[in-house]
Amino acid sequence: MKRGERHPIFALLDAGVPVAICCDNSTVSRTDQLRESELVAREVGLETVERIHREAAAYTFIRPEAALDPSHGD
């Protein structure tokens, strides 16, 4: 994507495709979840970002009951 081009997330949102706002490796990309969410919110609004985060939970591969439980260290 070239600087100034519209990010593909907008086409996905317009088409009703579920999306998530993520940052995989904050040490390499020099960003974090909050910064990425703020950038998206500037374009689509805070309410849309809140909805994206709420709806993304339905698509996670993380088992909430074991996510931070050290006894499930497998």
Per-residue pLDDT of the chain (74 residues; tens, 9 = 90+): 788 888 888 899 999 999 999 877 777 778 888 998 998 899 889 999 999 999 988 888 777 676 666 665 55
Q: Which two tokens stand for residue 22?
A: 């993520």
Q: How far apart are the first and last CA of the chain?
A: 38
3-class SS of residue 1: coil
How is residue 52 written in tokens? 């994206």
Distance of CA 56 to the CA centre of its chain: 8
40 with 9: CB under 8 angstroms? yes
Distance in angstroms (rounded) separating the CA atoms of residues 12 and 21: 12
